[in-house]
Every structure is written in C-alpha cells, then in structure tokens.
Structure 1
Amino acid sequence: MSLDEEYTTYVTGRSSWLRRIAYLLCQDWHRADDLVQTAITRLYVKWRKARVADDLDAYVRVILIRVFLAEQRTAWFSRVRLTAAPPDPPPGGHDRDTAVDLSRALAAVPPRQRVTLVLRFHCDLSVEQTAVALGCSTGTVKSQTARGLAALRATLDAPYSPLSHTDLSHMEER
C-alpha cells in the first residue's frame, strides 16, 4: 500500500471522530469541518513521520488542538463571530434540553479550558496524557480543568438553565 493510500485510509476511518472533537472545541459544525480540513492537511505534510508514531490518534489530536488554539489567537477570529444554525440534535437517547444547555455552557468556557475539558472528559485522557497533548505541566491541566468546571458550573447555574452543579459532580471525580 502506498503512503497516499495509507493516509487516505486513516483519514477516512477517523474523520467523524476528528469532526466530533473539533465540534466540541468550537461549537460550530462548519467551523469544525474547517478545523479538521486544516488538521488533515497538516497531517498529510507530516505523514511519513506521523504514520510511525506510537499513537497516531494522539498525534492527530494534538495537530487538531494546535490548529484550534492557533485560530483562537488570530486577530480575524477575535473580530469576526459567525453564527451557525441551531446545533444538530445529539444522537438518540439523550435529553435534548440538557445537551443544548451543556453545549451552550461549553461554548462559554475560554478556549484553553474548553480544550482541557474536551480532552479530559470527552476523549477520556488522563491528566498526564492531556499535559502531553497540550505541551504543558500536569499542574496546568489540573488548574485549567478546575477553572473550566467552575465556568461550566457558573453558566449552568444561571437562571435559564435547568441543570444544577450536581450534574457536573461526576466530572470532578475523574
């Protein structure tokens, strides 16, 4: 199998996973698609090195996170806020109101804290794995997690939300 075929097979198999992580980071499906496109383009450029990585998924996840964080720092993003159509409904079996409230609250969390929460609780990474992915210390991961959970809790405790802080208590146990 050629390098291009290996790359295409990997990207095809992992694109929905990458898109979901990107959506959790930016809360916009169109922007998530742009983030994934940029990330897989960067992956293609580094494919010779990436394909032999010990954990290819972790390697690609780091690329995606760096693309997201770099975009957050650009002047264009700070000046232009695009609004999307209402979010897609969550997969079946979920309480729609709770999912919308949680999505809205996650969007209100600062980007670096949001990345930390997504890695810790959606990707189920340990503190150490998250620190490696973000290129920071474990103490930074712990403080970003605590601050992110506090921001979520503050948003969810706002009068419009039916959720309470007890709904996030299971997250702190990780």
Structure 2
Amino acid sequence: MKPGDDASFREFAARKALTLRRTAYLFCGDWHLAEDLVQSALMKLYRVWPKVSRTGPADNYARQVLLRCWLDEQRRPWRRKENRSGHVPDRPDAHADPTRLGISDLLLHALAEVPPKQRAAIVLRYCADLSIADVAATLRCSEGTVKSQTARGLEILRAAVERREPAAEGSK
C-alpha cells in the first residue's frame, strides 16, 4: 500500500471508528463484541483500501463489511455454546453507556429479540439514519426487501416492547 493510501485509511478509521462501534453495538448488544467486530471490519477494509478509496466514499462499504462480520459471527457455533452469564471483570468504558446512544434499555433489550437481518435493517434505517437506497446497498438487496424487512422487524420490536413495558413499569 502506498503511504498516501495508508494515511487516508488511518484518517478514515479514526473518523469513523466511534460510529461503526455504535452501529456494531446496536447489531449485537455487547460492547466487547462490538469492538471486535469493528476491529475485524477495519482489518478487512484495510486490505482493499486502495480500491475502495478510489471508487468514492467508503462509508457504505465499511457498514457493509461490519454487517457481514456480525452476520458471520452469528453463524459461528462456539458463540452458541459460550456461557455469557458471568461478570465481566474490567470497568465499563465511559463511552459504553447505552443511554449515550439515545436508546433506552427497554428498547435495547427488545431490539435483541428481532432476527439479525431485520435488526440490521432497523438499525441502519433508523439508528444510523440511512436512506432506503443506502440500506439496500449495505444489505445487498432491493429497496422493497429493505421495506419489508424493516416493517416485519418493527412489528416484532413493538411486540417485544409491549411485553417488556409492564415489567419495566413494575420495577420503578
């Protein structure tokens, strides 16, 4: 890679890392896994950076790679066997507060019940504030598919929020 390409990648990574991390967190619901996903996505993006940077803005491609990393992670059998009921020993990151994303705990837990591709459509459309065309490009599908996946995902999200809402009100 040329020194100019390396510098432009470093600048892109520094500028977009936090946004990618937030998006990854909304995909998976785990800050540690979100950091791993962003790291994997940036490593994959670095390998093809000269080609990607010449074709135009790399934002959409970076989101696409991040999404693919998350979907690949979902397919790994060892993730299903992992026991996540333990306590994480390190201190929480100051930037890891979900309320800083503008999303309540209730909504985050409900979002975890939405199937992965529908969750990706919802996160990209409403949390990342992308247009339907940009979401379609990121998900590699038609705009109609984005609309149907979003609509179905929102139905599941609404039902999950309604199920959880009485429990959240009772705990106050």
- 5+ residue gaps, structure 2: none
Are the aligned partners of 2:60 and 2:137 in contact in 1 as well (CA < 8 Å)? no
Report how far residue 78 of structure 1 moved: 2.8
One of 31, 40, 61 as aligned partner of 1:59: 61
How many residue pairs end up in the alignment? 158
Root mean square deviation, CA, Å: 2.1
Other-structure match for 1:88: 97
Other-structure match for 1:39: 41
Are the aligned partners of 1:7 and 1:47 in contact in 2 as well (CA < 8 Å)? yes
The one of the two structures with greater contact order (alpha-carbon pairs below 8 A, sep at least 6) is 2
Are the aligned partners of 2:20 and 2:38 in contact in 1 as well (CA < 8 Å)? yes
Q: In the TM superposition, what whole-angstrom CA distance separates every residue of 1:11-66 from its partner, at most 9, and x where no partner exists?
A: 11111111111111111110000000000000110111111232211111111111
Q: Distance in 2 between matches of 1:29 and 1:23?
A: 6
Report how far residue 161 of structure 1 moved: 4.0
Other-structure match for 1:152: 157
Q: Distance in 2 between matches of 1:67 and 1:81?
A: 21
Q: Distance in 2 between matches of 1:111 and 1:38?
A: 18
Which moved further from structure 2: 110-119 or 69-78?
Answer: 69-78
Q: Secondary structure at the match of 1:55?
A: coil
Are the aligned partners of 2:37 and 2:70 in contact in 1 as well (CA < 8 Å)? yes
Other-structure match for 2:141: 136
% identity of equivalent residues: 43
1:92-171 equivalent positions in 2, closer than 5 A: 99-158=104-163, 159-162=166-169
Q: Distance in 2 between matches of 1:2 and 1:56?
A: 16
Report how far residue 119 of structure 1 moved: 0.7
What TM-score comes out, normalization by structure 2 length? Answer: 0.83
Q: Distance in 2 between matches of 1:157 and 1:132?
A: 32
Other-structure match for 1:22: 24
Are the aligned partners of 1:90 and 1:99 in contact in 2 as well (CA < 8 Å)? yes
What TM-score comes out, normalization by structure 1 length? Answer: 0.82
Change (3 A) 1:3 1:54: closer
Are the aligned partners of 2:136 and 2:146 in contact in 1 as well (CA < 8 Å)? yes
Which moved further from structure 2: 100-109 or 52-61?
Answer: 52-61
Change (3 A) 1:135 1:6: same
Report how far residue 151 of structure 1 moved: 0.9
Other-structure match for 1:167: none
